[in-house]
Every structure is written in structure tokens, then in C-alpha cells.
Amino acid sequence: MYVLALVTQKGGSGKSTLAVGIAVAALGNGERVAIVEADPQGTISKWKERRRHPDPRVVRVADSAEIERALVSLEAEGIWLTVIDTAATNNALAMRAIARADLCLIPVRPSPADIEAAIPTLIAIRRLNRRFAFVLAQTPPRGCRVSEAATSLNSLGVLALPYVGQRNDHQDALGAGLGVTEFAQEGRASEEVRELWRWILKKLVEGSSDHEPHARNEKAAY
């Protein structure tokens, strides 16, 4: 089972929106997908209540022991991808999510304050020796701030592609209990999320072949 964690202590950066978007894009390829919600705010469970389709499974967790139990039982059920959505804090639960992730995604809006706010998360990820990528999120339709932000993030680590633009489809999809790829299949937002998911999947597959057969033991050490 691949584990993907959306992390950054900055609120409003787009963690929950991307968690839903990515999970549903992965479902669209016929995979078994779950979301673990490690955020008391409950954005994902509220979305799930509005959703008619039974997938993805959503499991809420409140502490590190629960996250462990959830991941073990999801893997035993045959889930192929678990996306963990975390709260806007570097608490123990977020740290556990990072430690258990095959890949951490750090959504960052293109502003100096948002980039600065991502640094403590980056430090935590490096300390736990996990793989990560920034996702430039909620980018405006035009302007040089986006390329400046991309340059800064590239200098700090890997930047996922493509950028995720600021588009109403993301908000409307969340409100309708849908993933953006279900809500407006032909839209630009949908296209970006599908492409981002392909980028992420490539990294997950590369990572698992890099680390096999030791990956499990490395994870068990955290």
C-alpha cells in the first residue's frame, strides 16, 4: 500500500482539497483508495457525508496509535493507496503521518509568507528522512509571483508538476461531495489534478523500487 501525506502547518494552503482531488483521481483509474483524516476540523468527513459514492473509504484518527491501527487495517483490506490529510500544525499526529508516508506533499500558495510557513514542515520531513515534494497550489491565472515562488521552492527541494491553479471547480467539487475530476471532467482543474496524480504515482513507484526490499524495515523504525 502506498501512503501519501498532505502536510504543512500553514492553514488554507489546500491540503484537504488536494487530498480529495488526488484520492478521487486515483479512484478514477480503478484503484482501491482510502483517505485517513488526521485533522479534527473534519473537512474530509464532511465532504464524505455529502458524497453518494462509497469510495474512497474515509477513516478519522485522533492520535498516533489510531493512525497506526488505521494504516495496518487498510493495508490488510487490500487498499492500494492511502492519502493522509493532516491539520495545520506540526503536532505528533502530523509527525506520525510524515513518518509513515512514502511521499509527503507540501502544498504552498505562491507567496513569500506561505513559503516561509512551509519551512518547519520541511525540516521535520528531512529529520524523518522522508521523500517529499512541494505542490504550488492556488496559483493565480497570471503573474510573475508564480515563477518566483517556483524558483524558491525548487531551491528548497522538488517541485511537483503541474501547478494547481486557483479555480472555482475545486471549491464546487468539495461542496458537491465530488472530486474535481468527477465534478468537471473536461475542465482545466480536472486536467491539472489528473496530471499531478500521474506525477505523484511515478514518484511513488520510483520510491518503492529504490528502497525495496528494505522499505518496510525502515518504516518500522519510526
> What are the residues binding Mg ion (CB under 5 A)?
15-16, 43
48 binds, among Mg ion, ligand ADP, none (CB under 5 to 8 A by kind): none
CA distance 119 to 194: 27
Site string for ligand ADP, 141-170 (x = CB under 6 A): -----------------------x-xx--x
CA distance 47 to 180: 12
13 binds, among Mg ion, ligand ADP, none (CB under 5 to 8 A by kind): ligand ADP
194 binds, among ligand ADP, Mg ion, none (CB under 5 to 8 A by kind): none
Burial string for 13-43 (b: 16+ CB within 10 Å, else e) reads bbbbbbbbbbbbbbbbeebbbbbbbbbeeeb
Is residue 174 part of the contact set for ligand ADP (CB under 6 A)?
yes
Evaluate the CA torsion angle 157, 161, 166, 171 in order and state its sign: negative
Cell 522499505 -> residue: 215
Choosing from 14, 56, 110, 179, the residue that interacts with ligand ADP (CB under 6 A) is 14
Closest distance of CB 71 from Mg ion, Å: 19
Is residue 109 part of the contact set for ligand ADP (CB under 6 A)?
no
Query: Residue 82: in which H helix or E strand, if any?
Result: strand 81-86
Q: Which is nearer to Mg ion, 25 or 150 (CB)?
A: 25
Q: Say which amino acid occupies 176.
A: A
Closest distance of CB 60 from Mg ion, Å: 13
Binders of ligand ADP among 27-86, rule CB under 6 A? 43
